[in-house]
Amino acid sequence: MGEHRLDGTSADKGRLYDGLMRNPDGTDTGIEVKSGSASRNAAQRGFDDVVSHDRPAVATLNGETIRIVKVKVEYVP
């Protein structure tokens, strides 16, 4: 799926997710993949903790405005 920069105003700001999953209601879930002993850093956790239907991360993907309302972290060996 590639990385997607979300809610950023310049190239050095924003949140990167490893992928996106479309939800049945048309919103999206940000997918973060961590391998081995890797974990999210404090900034990632802080951003992800406030993402919700009430406070979506708004981004543009392929010219379309999307609303990320949930974050799912996948751990792989």
Q: Is residue 21 within 8 Å of residue 33, measured between CB atoms?
A: no
Q: What are the pLDDT digits (tens) for 10-43? A: 344 678 899 999 999 999 999 999 999 999 999 9
pLDDT for residue 69 is more than 80? yes
What is the reported pLDDT for 6? 52
Let me know how long the chain is. Answer: 77
What is the reported pLDDT for 14? 76
Question: What is the domain partition of the chain in residue ranges?
Answer: 4-76
Q: β-pairing, 28-35 with 64-76?
A: parallel
Q: Is residue 76 within 8 Å of residue 33, measured between CB atoms?
A: yes
pLDDT for residue 72 is more than 80? yes
| Number of other residues whose CB lies within 10 A of the CB of residue 76 | 8
